[in-house]
């Protein structure tokens, strides 16, 4: 390790991130809770069953079509709690700001956070602010930590996944990553593609209250849907077979991704989640999602089969493609 340097890919949510987490953080910090590597850590504290998660947001630019770093910093942490089965409640917010950042922009960000908190039903109850000199940080970074309650009967986890389970998503993939990239690079189509940034605790709460057959949920952020599918397959020791033609991607994002040689399955989302569910309840779950504003394009995109942790994509042309985790960082700073 002596001469190795941190690469952008160490932060892209793919293979090198995974190596950093297991080879460095787990090696030194190792404990039973952290070792589970879940979206939110579940713990007992003073009698209560709590979920906690933390996330840093460094998105560039801080204002983008469909949102801003403040909205994102709330939604991202709400969603990590929600997919773990927790009901998000209390948040901390920590601001890192570059000297010379306009106060009016800071107020826009803070007002956006406050609005998103109200919509998601969470409260910011502690915070911190640090200012660093010009050139020592790019405008503004935000860290949020979220606390939620874990209902006693919630039992999501890889151990519950079995062959035959179906795989669902709540809508079009790749819009967030493409919207941010388009705005940043000025490709000219930035008005057509809007980030899907949204707090998912409402729609997820409805699903979890109505259905018992949900095995696991994952939000599809860094690394996109494909990386999440690979992580689920590997952790559960099963294969996941996805149908390319069933996977929803919006026309504008599909077109832009083709033009740029990017795969929407690896682009980040900030308002999409994957659900693995028993086949008996899959149609009910799709119907419930479609009745919610954040699930109108929900659909079944694949199934779980016995296997050894691989993800396969049945292509539109009848072929089969092997999907691995994202490797390399084509799109840094998308969250």
Positions in 30-69 near a copy of itself (CB under 8 A): 31, 33-34, 40-41, 43, 45-50, 52-58, 60
Q: Is 25 in the site for a copy of itself (CB under 8 A)?
A: yes
Q: How far apart are CA 335 and CA 321, in angstroms?
A: 28
DSSP string, 139-200: SEEEEEEEEEE--TT----GGG--TT-EEEESS--SHHHHHHHHHHHT-S-TTT--------
User: Which candidate, 130, 112, 273, 141, places its Cα nearest to that of 208?
Assistant: 273
Contact 225, 272 (CB under 8 A): yes
Q: Is 1 in the site for a copy of itself (CB under 8 A)?
A: yes
Between CA 62 and CA 71, with CA 67 as vertex, the angle to 5 degrees is 85
CB-wise, 17 or 253, nearer to a copy of itself?
Answer: 17
> Which of 127, 163, 279, 328 is the binder for a copy of itself (CB under 8 A)?
127
DSSP string, 196-251: -----HHHHHHHHHH-S-EEEEEE--TTHHHHHHHHHHHHHTEEEEEEGGGS---H
CB-wise, 9 or 242, nearer to a copy of itself?
Answer: 9
Segment contacting a copy of itself by CB under 8 A, of 15-23, 161-169, 233-241, 291-299: 15-23
Q: Between residue 129 and residue 148, which ones bind a copy of itself under the rule CB under 8 A?
A: 129-133, 135-138, 141, 143, 145, 147
Task: Return the axis-axis angle of helices 201-210 and 69-83, rounded to nearest 10°.
Answer: 10
Task: Return the axis-axis angle of helices 175-185 and 251-260, rounded to nearest 10°.
Answer: 60
Q: Between residue 71 and residue 100, which ones bind a copy of itself under the rule CB under 8 A?
A: 89-90, 92-100
In the shown chain, the binding pattern of residues 145 to 184 toward a copy of itself, with x for contact by CB under 8 A and - for none, equals x-x-xx----------------------------------
Segment contacting a copy of itself by CB under 8 A, of 102-110, 178-186, 204-212, 223-231: 102-110
CB-wise, 122 or 282, nearer to a copy of itself?
Answer: 122
The footprint of a copy of itself on this chain (CB under 8 A) covers a number of residues equal to 86
Q: Is 266 in the site for a copy of itself (CB under 8 A)?
A: no
CB-wise, 129 or 162, nearer to a copy of itself?
Answer: 129
Inter-CA distances, 305 with 59, 239, 245, Å: 37, 5, 19
Q: Is 272 in the site for a copy of itself (CB under 8 A)?
A: no
CB of 6 to a copy of itself, least distance (A): 4
Segment contacting a copy of itself by CB under 8 A, of 12-20, 163-171, 231-239, 284-292: 12-20
Q: Is 332 in the site for a copy of itself (CB under 8 A)?
A: yes
Identify the DSSP state of 109: H
CB-wise, 267 or 313, nearer to a copy of itself?
Answer: 267
Q: Is 101 in the site for a copy of itself (CB under 8 A)?
A: yes
Q: How far apart are CA 176 and CA 269, in angstroms?
A: 5
Contact 301, 247 (CB under 8 A): yes
Q: Is 210 in the site for a copy of itself (CB under 8 A)?
A: no
């Amino acid at each position: 390790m002596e001469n190795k340097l941190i690469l952008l890919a160490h932060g892209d949510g793919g293979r090198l991130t995974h190596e950093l987490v297991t080879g460095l953080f787990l090696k030194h910090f190792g404990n039973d809770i952290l070792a589970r590597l879940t979206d939110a850590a579940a713990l007992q504290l003073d009698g209560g069953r709590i979920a906690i998660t933390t996330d840093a947001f460094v998105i560039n630019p801080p204002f983008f079509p469909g949102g801003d770093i403040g909205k994102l910093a709330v939604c991202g942490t709400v969603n990590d709690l929600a997919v773990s089965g927790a009901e998000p409640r209390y948040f901390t917010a920590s601001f890192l700001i570059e000297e010379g950042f306009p106060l009016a922009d800071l107020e826009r960000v803070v007002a956006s956070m406050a609005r998103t908190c109200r919509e998601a039903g969470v409260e910011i109850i502690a915070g911190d602010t640090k200012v660093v000199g010009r050139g020592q940080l790019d405008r503004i970074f935000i860290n949020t930590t979220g606390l939620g309650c874990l209902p006693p009967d919630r039992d999501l986890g890889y151990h519950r996944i079995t062959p035959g389970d179906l795989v669902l998503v709540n809508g079009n993939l790749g819009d967030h990553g493409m919207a941010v990239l388009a705005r940043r690079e000025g490709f000219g189509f930035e008005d057509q593609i809007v980030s899907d940034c949204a707090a998912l605790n409402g729609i997820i709460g409805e699903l979890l209250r109505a259905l018992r057959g949900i095995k696991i949920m994952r939000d599809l952020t860094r690394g996109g849907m494909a990386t999440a599918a690979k992580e689920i397959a590997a952790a559960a020791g099963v294969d996941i077979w996805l149908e390319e033609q069933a996977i929803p991607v919006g026309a504008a994002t599909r077109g832009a991704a083709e033009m740029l040689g990017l795969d929407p399955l690896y682009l980040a989302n900030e308002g999409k989640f994957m659900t693995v569910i028993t086949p008996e309840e899959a149609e009910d779950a799709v119907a419930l999602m479609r009745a919610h504003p954040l699930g109108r394009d929900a659909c079944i995109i694949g199934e779980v089969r016995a296997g050894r942790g691989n993800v396969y994509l049945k292509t539109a042309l009848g072929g089969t493609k092997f999907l691995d985790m994202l490797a390399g960082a084509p799109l840094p700073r998308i969250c």
